[in-house]
Amino acid sequence: MARREILLFFVVCAMASVLDGQTLGGPMHDKAVVCYVASWAAYRPGNGAFTIENLEPSLCTHLVYSFAGLDNEKGTIKSLDAWQDLEVDYGKAGYKRLVGLKKRYPHLKVTIAIGGWNEGSAKYSTMAATRESRQKFIDSVMVFLDQYKFDGLDLDWEYPARRDGRPEDKANYVALVKELSEAFKPRGYILTAALGAGKDTMDAAYDLPKLSRYLNLLHMMCYDYHGTWDGTVGANAPLRGTAEEDVLSVEYTIKYMIEHGVSPYKLVLGLPMYGRTFLLKDAATRTIEFGKTPAQATGFKGPFTGEAGFMGFNEICQEISNTSSKWTHHWHDQSSTPYLRDGERIITYDNARSIAIKVKMANDYGLGGLMVWSIDTDDFKGICEKETDAYVDFVDRYNQIKDDPVMTEALKTLNLADASRISKRTHYSVSNGQLHLRLPESQYTNYPLMETINDAAMLAMEEKRIMDEMERITKENEIDDDKTKPGAGSRMASSVAVILCCLLAWF
């Protein structure tokens, strides 16, 4: 008995040792999920304070530490918050802690972003202006990446040729990207860039075919299309515009990028973890019309982010969860945008449903992945109630096709799993000759939007495979119908006769 107990003790110890050193994986699909991490979120008050320990790395494939800056005098990369980023002088060692997650989550790529809105454009314009100044910057980046063990760099210059930039920035930006790419290749570093999504910015700032050639991924910042600067209420990230000629929408940006030479598999669709706030000029306004209803020049603030006109999803969802609040819920069909109203106050934002719709669009266009700005404004503490309508649009499409005769034919060739043996990786299955849909089950108590991104990606990929097979069968049936239509044989005979006559005349 003593020998058995000793043996059991060693077995338990060995298992504990293995589990303690266990490595964990990431998303179960093959799309990139790029998560920007705002270092300054650590300074937010109360439940808004976000640290690296709050991260759930299994939800992401890439983590982007935001932001490093550009030394205005030296033209080199630098930390913007030494106490938060570095170890010196008892600093918080943000760089080391984020990169250190790779030990337990080896699927992760961790990069450093340089730039951002507050850094402006002028000094980046100066740095990129000459071969010598670009090389000085590149040399500093190589040392920086090696010192802090990052996997690469994300360029977040906002924006070339804009905001005090120069017209020649467009060409110089390509030169900078090309030279960085060439320097990175021997070391295997990743080079990505966050690109503005407005048409005016895309026209002025980017030579897209060349950028697509040299960048590993292009992060489309598909948000901030509308805000208080418009003077009217509008969607922060509308799926589609309010009119045919409206160029400020997610779909327009995707089409523009692809039509201007960007490889779809390199495109990463940016999704906002925040919304825009408005104060109506006339609180008595009965109907809200995006792009038309007048709003004041400044919106209201959230309790954590403290920025007028801006609220993180974690702030918005707490407003919704507050049973004593007076918010009324609305949905704008054209832009696929939820919005809230309480008298003169309006919030347009993204919830689980609108995120799922955008993930499907990204998949339909064959994009390489999704990106979030930023993960620290999701409900990372799991304080809010879960939304229940995230996949209502998937359910509607399922109900439309499940009894379609073409679906019956498609099931013969799709080789879907049996409903009784379905795995967590699979949502569509077959049983008794019928298509079945199993909606995702929540695995986390927090991060509802991030979880929606990954679950919707799986749903969208499976759904597209089914739809593509139905489309293939429909086209084959149409061809067969044409062949069997009355007169089809006589038309073919007449065509042959005409050809023979032409040949006889020729000879």
pLDDT digits (tens, 9 = 90+) for 33-50: 999 999 999 999 999 999
256-310: pLDDT as tens digits? 999 999 999 999 999 999 999 999 999 999 999 999 999 999 999 999 999 999 9
336 lies in the same domain as 429: no
Name the pLDDT band for 186 (thresholds 50, 70, 90).
Answer: very high
Q: How far apart are CA 103 and CA 164, in angstroms?
A: 42
Calpha distance 55→53 (Å, rounded): 5
Contact, 379 vs 442, CB < 8 A? no
For the entire predicted model, the pTM comes to 0.91
Q: Would the pLDDT of 444 be above 50?
A: yes
* pLDDT category of residue 485 using cuts at 50, 70 and 90: low
Range of the domain at 401: 392-474
In a domain, 499, yes or no: no
Do 467 and 365 reside in the same domain of the chain? no
Which residue, chain included where needed, has tokens 């696929």?
Answer: 336
Residues 152 and 271 in one domain: yes
Same domain, 100 and 209: yes
| 502 part of a folded domain | no
Q: Identify residue 182 by its one-letter amino acid code.
A: E
Measured between alpha carbons, how far is 168 from 127 in angstroms, rounded to an integer? 12
DSSP secondary structure string, 346-370? EEE---HHHHHHHHHHHHHTT-SEE
DSSP 52-121: GGG--GGG-SEEEEEEEEE-TTT--EEES-HHHH--GGG---HHHHHHHGGGT-TT-EEEEEEE-GGG-S
Q: Is residue 490 part of a domain?
A: no
- The answer to whether residues 284 and 396 belong to one domain is no
Would residue 80 count as lying in a domain? yes
Q: What sign does the CA torsion over 388, 391, 396, 401 have? A: negative
Whether 18 is covered by a domain: the verdict is no
- pLDDT, mean over the chain: 92
Q: Catalogue the active-site residues.
A: 158
Give yes or no: residues 370 and 396 share one domain: no
Same domain, 114 and 33: yes
State how far the Cα of 211 lies from the Cα of 124, in Å rounded to an integer: 17
Q: What's the rounded mean pLDDT across residues 372-391?
A: 96
For 209-268, how does the pLDDT look when each residue is reduced to its tens digit (9 = 90+)? 999 999 999 999 999 999 999 999 999 999 999 999 999 999 999 999 999 999 999 999
Query: Looking at the 3D structure of the chain, how many domains does it have?
Result: 2
Q: Is residue 31 part of a domain?
A: yes
Mean pLDDT for 329-357 is 98
Other C-beta atoms closer than 10 Å to the C-beta of 391 total: 21
Peptide bond into 9 cis (omega under 30): no
In a domain, 12, yes or no: no
Kindly state the tokens that stand for 42. Answer: 């650590």
Same domain, 159 and 205: yes
Rounded (5°) CA angle 370-374-378? 100
Taking residues 442-465, report their average pLDDT.
97
Residue 338 belongs to domain with CATH number: 3.20.20.80
One domain, residues 360 and 399 = no
Task: Identify the domain boundary among 377, 403, 421.
Answer: 377
Q: How many residues make up the chain in this entry?
A: 507
Task: Say if residue 415 is in the same domain as residue 337.
Answer: no
Cβ neighbours of residue 320 under 8 Å, at least 6 residues apart? 327, 329, 340, 384, 385
* Residue 329 and residue 276 share a domain: yes
Query: Please, how many CA atoms are within 13 Å of residue 66, restricted to the half-sphere of its CB?
Result: 26
Asked whether 192 and 152 are in contact (CB, 8 A), the reply is yes
Any domain includes 19: no
Do 234 and 185 sit in the same domain of this protein? yes
